[in-house]
Structure 1
Amino acid sequence: MKKFLSLGICALLLMLALSACGSGNNNPQPAADTPAAPANGAGNAGANEPAASDEPVTISFMHFKSDVTDGVAKIVEQFESENPNIKVDVQPVKYDDYYTLLKTKMAGGDIIDVFTLNSGAQTKLFADGGYLEDLTGKDFLSNFDDSVLKAQATDGKNYIMPVNAGPIAVYYNKKIFSDLGIEIPRTYDALMAAAQKIKDSGKTPFALGWKDLWTLNMWIGRDLPSNTVLVGNIPDFFDKIETGAAKFADNPAIKTTLAHAMQLYQYGNKDQLGVDYNGSVDLFAKGEAAMLYSGTWPLADIQKKNPDLYNSGMGVFPYPFSNDESLNKLEFNPDASLAVNSKSEHKEAALKFLAFMASKEGGDAWVKNINSLSYVKGSSTDIAPAINDLKPYFDNGETYDSQGYMARTTIDWLTPLGQDMQNLFFGKETEDQVIKNIDDWIAKNHK
């Protein structure tokens, strides 16, 4: 992992490691009429913050966290209770459709005041288009570690404010593993051996919701860069894809990822391409599938649907993408970041919304309602009991961010690759055809 990314999450990982030593709910929320004082002055108007206004205003907030719509709504309600003159029109959108819709709205002059972005390629596209307000130097950014801000900067400027991050790993059913005598797999072959043992017992190894393309792409976008950079030792591959100087056909990792995908498909639930994300979470929560590859997003849903599984019946381990155990560290990625539209007519209110999200109160609200880590300094890290399994990886610094390997790549090669991979599952294309198709697509779209 790149040095600046490692430093960027250092403080956050330390907080998680310390909190993992304790137990119980250490995330008390202040009453609505007694809001907590924001840390480091966040949420208060500073020298370069907008002055308070008593005039009622409504701002639009479009986000791609549709899997936790209720949680986001609760955070917004908390903000509105403390800012009665600001109403927030919340517009959740499924991730698969999000960027297409956002770009369409922007191009059509439909002003969205605040919206979520992923750091890296998507942020650069919108920044280059002149749609992002420059947040560099805003007082509320002092609530984030400097290394995190540098890692999410675009051309040296902060156009987005980091909100949350979390591990991407494999959740597993402890009872199924125990009954079958399966140990935590530390290599890819061990993971497949465990899957075979589970399948032989008559149970479903993996809960897959690949009807939602983003769930498949989430996996591809980590298996492929991990095997490309860490196993294949091609650190500049995705930079070269951007300029047309490299082909997937010349990268051995693409065949590794395609083979892995076919194996996961074979060990998945029935109708993997007909089951969506929510369906896969249901399968795992009901104990019908032994493993679920995901971020922290499904935790709140699992807690609601099966408290016993959530409290003590599930664990989590890093996804072992290779057979070199030393490479199989814990994937730890930034998730949603917030941006303000440079063309917004309500920048004062929009910036106040970001200032709330940057406060300790806002960070704690995100952790409590979304079950994800917040980048805000000092915010709670009490997510779920299973996350304690990852404490050794945080303690020993055994984490990495595969998304950093693709940070400068603005070409969306994941979508066409995921679509072709679905054809591979149905036997409509061979591996060689999938590779040729993606290389042809890159040749037409490289910068």
Structure 2
Amino acid sequence: MSRRTLLRGAALGAGAVALPSLLAACDSGPSGVSLGSNASDAVPKKAFAAAFAAYEKKSKKTVKVNTVNHENFQENINRYLQGTPDDVFMWFAGNRMQYFAQKGLLADISDLWQHFGGFSDALKKQSTGADGKQYFVPYYYYPWAVFHRKSVFQEKGYEIPKTFDEYRALAKRMQRDGLVPFAFGDKDGWPAMGTFDYLDMRANGYDFHIALLSGRKSWNSPQVKQVFDLWRGLLPYHQKGANGRTWQEAAQSLAQKKAGMTVLGLPHPGQQFAAADRDDLDFFPFPEIDSAFGRDAVEAPVDGFLMSKKARDKSGARELLTYLATPAAEDIYLASDPNNIAVNSGADTSAYTPLQKKAVQLVSGARQISQFMDRDTRPDFASTVLIQAIQQFLNRPDDIDGLVNDIERQKKQIFAAG
């Protein structure tokens, strides 16, 4: 998925910029509900189609899906919601949802939540706006980790690194063996954020990381400088020209055995691997940097559905959201897309692949769970400052002091603006 444009769209003020209308809501009519979908990639598109078809069969109502290229959807989300949006649309938990709730663009579904089952308190919190009301139906999550091919590790005799020193030593060995140690693409502006998040949480802890992203810690502090310094030491082992490469291209180089590892979310490499090779995909947790924090924190974003405030078929939208909150709805989706994990505790996990089961263990064993940099901070700060700052660092990694001072200066301006 692309978050550069997601963030740019989310950060736009009401009416501040006139974007071309690339999103147009479907006409749901009296017997169906319209749904705005960003699932334009083949695997999730097919999986969602199966889930919606099951709802149609059960309810005898129609779901008219308006699928838009993922990047275009994110680019135009703000204008879309202020125009004539679909009744229901796909989006993200946490700050990404809260931003639009505060703008009054989402429908309150707190009464539906009173009857939902199988969602943890943590999931409810991620579905709740700043006003204490629920707006979001969580559907699946996916952890971020270090992905690799089992066959490459077996063939070369590589061992899974548990510490950062072992991680660097493995990268150096891969380079000697003719592999690119880390497949890496940041053309869309967001993939590199996952590496920063893990470096920060491993070096400084989850609490510092969240405080940093919420504006309560300084970006020019010694702790943040250490993060960029650690990252600078890894850059010689990353694919060159990351700012001109998509995450899909990076994941494909892992699938083609040209690269040894990559830091991404579970669906990203999974969707780029051929079905015959998918069993060869594996991952390990991002290694420990400071033993005081270990590997306690795991990055695991949650995706799901919301009802637009301007929904025309309100009763149909509420009925569809109620269905999507059930274990059965998740089971149908995951039968076609084994690259995500169900959020409902009642979902059937018996058909999970070994990789899915491992992902569940990773997240269930975490002491803290982050949502990802662009979901744990203000969208305007992420879009106008952090994307450019990280890409600038990738191009010129030696001026860390100048970089963090510039981030801190802009952070103070943005957070002071309220």
TM-score (ref. length: structure 1) = 0.75
CA distance in structure 1 between the aligned counterparts of 2:209 and 2:307, rounded to whole angstroms? 36
Paired AA for residue 346 in structure 2: G
More displaced stretch, 165-174 vs 66-75 = 66-75
Shift of 1:350: 1.5
CA contact (8 A) 1:329 1:399 kept: yes
Q: Deviations over 1:206-265 (max 9, x none)?
A: 1112122221223334433554434x85764444x1xxx642112x33223323443444
Q: Find the counterpart in structure 2 of residue 148 from structure 1.
A: 123
Once the two structures are superposed, residues 358-381 of structure 1 have per-residue CA deviations (whole angstroms, 9 ceiling, x without a partner) of 122211023223321111232123
CA separation of 1:120 and 1:227: change in aligned 2, threshold 3 A = farther
CA distance in 2, matches of 1:262, 1:405: 19
Would the alpha carbon gap of residues 440 and 292 (structure 1) be closer, same or farther in structure 2, given more than 3 Å must change? same
Q: Does 1:329 align with 2:296?
A: yes
SS in 2 for 1:342: coil
The question of 1:101 aligning with 2:72 is answered no
1:376 to 1:392, Cα distance in 2 relative to 1, 3 A:
closer
The 1-side partners of 2:105 and 2:319 are apart by 19
2:218 is equivalent to residue 247 of structure 1: yes
2:184 touches 2:245 (CA, 8 Å); kept in 1? Answer: yes
Aligned partners of 1:361, 1:329: CA distance in 2, in Å? 31
Structure 1 unaligned segments of length 5 or more: list them.
Answer: 1-52
Query: Which stretch shows the higher mean deviation, 186-195 or 437-446?
Result: 437-446
The match for 1:174 is: 150
Distance 1:392 1:367, change over 3 A: closer
Tell me how far apart the structure 1 counterparts of residues 195 and 363 of structure 2 sit (CA, whole Å).
22
* Aligned twin of 2:161: 185
SS of alignment partner, residue 401 of structure 1: strand
Q: How many residues align?
A: 383
Match of 2:100, SS state, is helix
SS in 2 for 1:213: coil
CA contact (8 A) 1:423 1:429 kept: no
| Alpha carbons of structure 1 residues 171 and 324: separation in structure 2 relative to 1, 3 Å | same
Partner of 1:340: 307
Moved more, 54-63 or 155-164: 54-63
Q: Is the 8 A contact 2:202 2:295 kept in 1?
A: no
- The AA in structure 1 aligned to 2:411 is I
Asked whether the 8 Å contact 1:144–1:375 carries over to 2, the reply is yes
**What residue is the counterpart of 1:197 in the other structure?**
173
- Once the two structures are superposed, the pairs formed by residues 119-268 of structure 1 within 5 Å of their partners are 119-138=93-112, 141-154=116-129, 155-230=131-206, 236-239=211-214, 241=215, 246-250=217-221, 252-268=222-238
Question: Partners of 2:115 and 2:333 in 1: how far apart?
Answer: 16
Structure 1 equivalent of residue 13 of structure 2:
none
Question: Of residues 355, 362, 377 in structure 1, which corresponds to 2:345?
Answer: 377
1:297 aligns with 2:267: yes
Partner of 1:401: 369
Aligned to 2:85: 111
Letter in 1 for 2:355: A
- Is 1:222–1:402's contact at 8 Å kept on the other side of the alignment? no
Q: Which residue of 2 aligns with 1:354?
A: 321
The answer as to whether partners of 1:211 and 1:272 remain within 8 angstroms in 2 is: yes
> Structure 1 residue runs of 4+, over 6 Å off?
404-408
- The alpha carbon displacement at 1:195 in A equals 0.7
Inter-CA distance 440–194: structure 2 relative to 1 (3 Å threshold)? same
Residue 62 (structure 1) shift: 3.3
Cα contact 1:167–1:333 (8 A) shared by 2? yes
How far apart are 1:186 and its partner, in Å?
A: 0.8
Compared CA separation, residues 202 and 323, structure 1 to 2 (3 A): farther
AA aligned opposite 1:72? F
Contact 1:265 1:272 in 2 (8 A): no
- Indicate the residue corresponding to 1:272 in structure 2: 242
Report the aligned-residue RMSD: 3.2
* Partner Cα distance (1:209, 1:408) in 2: 21
The Cα offsets for residues 115-168 of structure 1, whole Å up to 9 and x where unpaired, read as 233222222221111111111131652342344213432232211111111221
